[in-house]
Amino acid sequence: MADRLRGLIPLIAAALVGAAVLLPLAAVIWRAGGLSPLDGRSWDAVWFTLWQAALSAVLSVGLAVPVARALARRRFRGRSALVALLGAPFILPVIVAILGLLAVFGQKGWLSDVMGLFGLPAVKIYGLHGVLLAHVFFNLPLATRLLLQGWQDIPAERFRVAATLNLRPWTMFRLIEWPMLRRIAPGAAMVIFVICLSSFAVALTLGGGPKATTVELAIYQAFRFDFDIGKAAQLAVVQLVLAGGAALAAMKLTLPEAGFGGLDRVVPRWDGSRIVDGFWIALVALFLLLPLAAIGLRGAGAIATLPASVWYAALYSVAVSLGAVAVTLVLALPLALSRRKWIELVGLMGIASSPLVLGTGLYLMINPFIAPWDVALPVTAAVNAVMALPFALRILRPAAAQIEAEHGRLADSLDLHGWARLRWLMLPRLRRPLGFAAGLTGALAMGDLGVITMFADPDTATLPLQMYRLMGAYRMEQAAGAALLLLILSFGLFWIFDRGGRINADT
Amino acid sequence: MLTLEGLDIVQDDFRLTADWSVPTGARVAIIGPSGGGKSTLLSAISGFAEAQGKVLWNGAPLGDLAPGKRPIAMLFQDQNLFPHLTAAQNVGLALSQGRLTKAQGQRVGLALSRVGLDGLENRKPSQLSGGQQSRVALARVLLQDRPLWLLDEPFAALGPGLRSEMLALVQQIAAEVGATILMVTHDPEDARRFADLVVVVDQGVALAPRDTEDLFANPDQALRDYLGH
C-alpha cells in the first residue's frame, strides 16, 4: 500500500506541472476561438519575431566560432575566470544587462562618448540592432560554451597528427574542426533561435514600435494598452504555434549539451595566431565585462539613496524567488527520482510554453474569480517555477541516475525504500546538484521580468519591474542603483544555494 | 538450508543452471572462470537478477521477496558503504532506518569493536583504509542478523595478507552466529582455506557442492580445466 502511494507521488507532480501548463494554454485557445486571421500589425510582429531570432542565432554562433576556437587552444591567466563569466549571463537579470548595455552602447553611453571625440554621431540603440545586441550579449556566451565543448571533445591525437603532417591552417580546419562545427553549430543556433522567439524583456526595453515588436511584446501591448484580452489570446495562440513549431523542429536536430562546468581542458595545438586569438578573447571579455562594470560604477553611488519602494520591491522579489525555488524543488525531486522515461517530456513542457502565453491563460482562468493583481506574486513564482523546472530536471535526473547506479544495489540489499532511501542515500548525495538547481531557479526567478508585467498593479512590483518603471521615468541613477541591488541579490542567491549544496558535501 | 530447485538464469546469450542445496552453517566457495556466472548466481539468489526455478530458504520460497526482504546479507565487490555516512551510521542502518536508540548505538559500537575498529566510529569511508572499510561492512553484516551471507569477492581489492586476515575474521564471526556463507572467489587457495564445500561453475552449470578436501584431492574435469592441470 505504502509502495503504491509512493509510486503515485511522481505522477502527481507530473500532473501538477501538466495542469499548470496545459490549462492556461487551453484557456488561451478557448478564448481565441482557435486560429483567426491576423491583422497587419500582428503579422509584422510575427515576421519581426522570426527575423530577429534568426539573426540573433546566426550572429551569436558566428561570433562564437572564433571565440570558442581561441579559448580551446590558448592557455592564459584568467582563462577559467573567463569561462566562468561565460556562464554568468544565464543568471543575469535581463533588465540589468539592458541597463548595462545602454550605459555602454546607448545614446549617452561610453561608446557614443568615444565616437563623439572623433566628431561621429551618437549611437542609436533602439530598434532591431539594439534587440540583436542584447540577444548576442546573452547568447554569444551560451554558443561559445556549446562550441567550446565541441572543440574539447575533438581527440587531442588528431591535432598531434595534424601538427606532424604540418597541415596548412585551412586544411586543418576543413579536416578536423569543420566536421565538429557542422555537427554542433546548427543545434546551437536552433537553441538560441528558440530562446529568442520568446524574447520579451529585451523587446520591451530596446525594441517596441511597429517595426520592432515581438509576438510576446504584442501580447503584453494588447493586454496592457489596448485592454483587448481577445487579441492577447489570439497572439498567444500565434506564439504557441511559433514556439511549438520551433521546438518540434529542434527535436529533429541533435541538440548539443552544455555541461555545467568541465571546460577547463586546453587541447595542445601548434597552429593559429596568438594575436588573432587574443583579439577575440579580449573582445568577448570586454563585451561581457563593460556593461557589468557600468552597472557597478553607476549603481554604487545610488544604492544607498534608493527609495523605499525599491526596497519593498526587493523584498517581494526575494519572496517570489524563494517561493519559486520551493515549488521547483518539490516538483523536481520526485520527477528526478522517478525512473520513467516520459518524465523528461514533462520538463520540456516548460520550455515550449512562454511566460506571456502562460500569463494570458492564467489571467483568463483567474479573472472571473479574483482580481488578478491580488495574486501577482504567487502567479509570478509559479510561472517561474515551471520555467525553471526543465533546468532543474536536467541537473537532477542524471545525478539521481548515477547515484542509483553506484549505490542502488546496496540500498536495495539493506531494504532502504521510500523516505529512508531519500534520507540516507538520495538527499545527502544530491546536495550539490540540489543546491545548484536551487541557485539557478532562485536567480532566474529573481531577475524575471515577464508575467509580472501583466499582473502587477501600480502599487506592487518585483525588483525587475520596479527597475523598469524607474527607467521608464528616466530616473536612471536610481535605476542603476536598483540594478546593482538586483544583480547582488540574483548572484548572491545563486551563490548561497550553490554554496549550501557544496559545504561539507562528500563526493 | 539453502535449496536451488531447477534454477535457470538466462541473460541474452548467457545461461546458468543450478540444482542443489547446502546445509545451514556451511561455508561454500564458488569458483570458476571469470565471466562464467559466479556473481550472477549470487545475484539470482539475492534477488537482483531474474531467474526461473526456485530459491528456497528452509523450505520457504524467496522468489517473491525484494532483495532487502530476503534472509540474506550481501557484500559486493565494491560500494559496500555509503561514502557520505560515518562508519557508525553505515553499520547502524542494519538495525534501524530512523534514529538509533541508545541500546542500538551500543550494539553498533560493540560490532565495530568486534571487527577491530575501536575509536573509528565517526570516520567516513574515505578516511579509512581498504581493509578497515571491509571491516565496517562486515560489522554491518553481523548486525543485519540474517542467516545467509553472500560474499561476492568483497576482499578482492585487498592484498593477499589482508585478504586472508579478513577471511579468518569472517569465518570466526560467521561461526559465532551460525551463518551460512556463499562466497565467490577466483583464488583456489582462498577456497581451500575458507570453505567446507566448493561449487565449481563451468560451462553454464553451477555444479553441486563437493567437500573441499575431497574435491581438491580428486579434482573433477571442471576443476582441472579451471586450475589448468
pLDDT band at B21 (very low <50, low <70, confident <90, very high): very high
Residues B130 and B63 both lie in one domain: no
CA B140 to CA B134: how far, in whole Å?
10
A89 closest CA partner among A287, A386, A294, A279: A287
Same domain, A361 and A449: yes
Q: Which of A406, A412, A507 sits opposite B68 (nearest CB)?
A: A412
- Residue B82, Ramachandran bin (φ over 0: left; ψ between -120 and 50: alpha; else beta): beta
Whether B218 maps to a domain, the answer reads yes
Average pLDDT over residues B21-30: 95
CA B214 and chain centroid, separation:
23
- Report d(CA A429, CA A405) in Å as an integer: 13
Cβ distance B94 to A424 less than 8 Å, yes or no, reads no
Q: Please name the residue that has the C-alpha cell 517530456.
A: A345
Q: Using CB atoms, which residue from A416, A428, A505 is nearest to B97? A: A416
Rounded mean pLDDT, B25-29: 95
* Cβ pair A413:B84 closer than 8 A: no
Smallest CA–CA distance, residue A403 to chain B, in Å, is: 10
Residue B229 has pLDDT above 80, yes or no: no
3-state secondary structure A199-216: CCHHHHHHCECCCECCHH
Distances from the Cα of A458 to the Cα of A127, A130, A333, A455, angstroms: 27, 28, 36, 10
Same domain for A112 and A19?
Answer: no
Residue A304: predicted pLDDT? 86
Q: Could you report the per-residue pLDDT of B95-136, keeping only the tens digit for each?
A: 999 999 999 999 999 999 999 999 999 999 999 999 999 999
Partner residue facing B76 (CB), from A409, A424, A505: A409
* Beta-carbon separation of B97 and A425 below 8 A: no
Shared-domain flag, residues A260 and A388: no
CB B148 within 8 A of CB B179: yes
Residues of B in contact with A406 (CB under 8 A): 79
A427 & A468 share domain: yes
Nearest to B84 among A410, A413, A428 (CB): A428
Determine the pLDDT at residue A505: 63
Instruction: Give buried/exposed letters for A189-217 (b at 16+ CB in 10 A, else e).
Output: bbbbbbbbbbbbbbbbbbbbeeebbbbbb
DSSP 8-class letter at A424: I
Q: Which residue of A has its CA nearest to B94?
A: A414
Q: In chain B, which residues touch A (CB < 8 A)?
A: 46, 48, 66-69, 72-74, 76, 79-85, 89, 93-94, 97-98, 124, 126, 144
> Cβ separation of A410 and B80 shorter than 8 Å?
yes
Q: Which residues of chain A have pLDDT under 70?
A: 1-4, 34-35, 254-265, 267-268, 270, 351-352, 504-507
- Note whether B82 contacts A417, CB cutoff 8 Å: no
Contact A415 B76 (CB under 8 A): no
Query: Does residue B101 share a domain with residue B58?
Result: no
Per-residue pLDDT, averaged over B190-208, amounts to 92
pLDDT for residue A263: 66
The 10s digit of each residue's pLDDT in A175-222 is 889 999 998 999 899 989 988 998 999 999 998 777 899 999 999 999
Residues of chain A contacting residue B68, judged by C-beta atoms under 8 Å apart: 412-417
Number of other residues whose CB lies within 10 A of the CB of residue A306: 20
To the nearest whole Å, the CA of A413 is away from the closest chain B CA by 4
Q: Which residues of A395-420 are buried (b: 16+ CB within 10 A; e: fewer)?
A: bbbebbeebbeebbbbbbbbbbbeeb
Same domain, A213 and A317: no
Among chain B residues, CA nearest to A428: B84
A414/B68 Cβ within 8 A: yes
**What confidence tens digit (pLDDT) does each residue in A293-323 have?**
999 999 998 888 899 999 999 999 999 999 9
Q: What is the CATH number for A371? A: 1.10.3720.10
Chain A residues within 8 A (CB-CB) of chain B? 406-407, 409-410, 412-417, 420, 423-425, 428-429, 505-507
CATH number of the domain encompassing residue B52: 3.40.50.300
The total number of structural domains in chain B stands at 2
By C-alpha distance, the chain B residue nearest A504 is B84
Percent of chain B surpassing pLDDT 70: 100
| B61 and B166 inside one domain | yes
Which residues of A fall within a CB distance of 8 Å from B81? Answer: 410
Render the burial of B67-81: b for 16+ CB within 10 Å, e for the rest.
bbebbbbbbbeeebb
Size of interface A-B (CB pairs under 8 A): 54
- Check whether residue A206 and residue A329 sit in a common domain: no
Q: What is the tens place of the pLDDT at every residue in B54-109?
A: 999 999 999 889 999 999 999 998 889 999 999 999 999 999 999 999 999 999 99
> Which is nearest to A243 in space by CA: A398, A414, A387?
A387
- For residues A278 and A423, state if they share a domain: no
Residue A52, number of CB atoms within 10 A of its CB: 24
Instruction: Report if residue B151 sits inside a domain.
Output: no
Which residue, of B145, B172, B192, is where some domain finishes? Answer: B145
Question: ipTM score here?
Answer: 0.88
CB B206 within 8 A of CB B15: no
Residues A256, A271, single domain; the answer is yes
Residue of B77, B93, B99 to mutate, interface with A, max A Cβ within 10 Å: B93
- Residues of chain A in contact with residue B74, where contact means CB-CB under 8 angstroms, are 413
Q: For residue A293, what are the CA distances in angstroms to A80, A103, A325, B21? A: 19, 10, 29, 77
Residue B164 domain-assigned (yes or no): yes
Q: Which domain holds residue A60?
A: 38-300
A353 and A407 fall within a common domain: yes
Residues B67 and B162 placed together within one structural domain of the fold: yes
In a mutational test of the B interface, the residue from A414, A426, A430 whose CB has the highest number of chain B CBs within 10 Å is: A414
Q: Are residues A42 and A24 both part of a single domain?
A: no
Domain end, chosen from B145, B172, B191, is at B145
**B85 contacts A420? CB cut-off 8 A:** no
For residue B152, being part of any structural domain is answered with no
Number of structural domains (chain A) is 2
Same domain (yes/no): B174, B202: yes
- Phi, psi dihedral angles at A35 (to 5 degrees): -85, 125
Give the end of a domain, one of A300, A321, A352. Answer: A300
Chain B environment of A410 (Cβ under 8 Å): 76, 79-82
Please judge whether B85 and A407 are an interchain contact, meaning their C-beta atoms are less than 8 angstroms apart.
no
Q: What pLDDT does A258 receive? A: 56
pLDDT digits (tens, 9 = 90+) for B139-187: 999 999 999 999 999 998 888 888 989 999 999 999 999 999 999 998 8
Domain coverage including residue B216: 1-71+158-229
Question: Contact A410/B83, CB-based, under 8 Å?
Answer: no
In a mutagenesis test of the A interface, which of B72, B75, B82, B150 is the best target, namely the one with the most A β-carbons within 10 Å?
B82
Residues of chain B with Cβ-Cβ distance to A434 below 8 Å are none
Distance CA A140, CA A345 (A): 27
Q: Where is the domain boundary, B122, B145, B168?
A: B145
Pick from B66, B69, B83: which is nearest to A506 by CB? B83
Residues A177 and A313 in one domain: no
B68–A429 CB contact, under 8 Å: no
Domain boundary among A265, A300, A335: A300
Domain boundary among A300, A329, A358: A300
Instruction: Read off the C-alpha cell for A427.
Output: 538527499
Residues A29 and A44 in one domain: no
| Residue B158, min C-alpha distance to chain A (Å) | 20
Closest-CA distance of chain B to residue A337, Å: 18
> Hey, are the CB atoms on A409 and B84 less than 8 Å from each other?
no
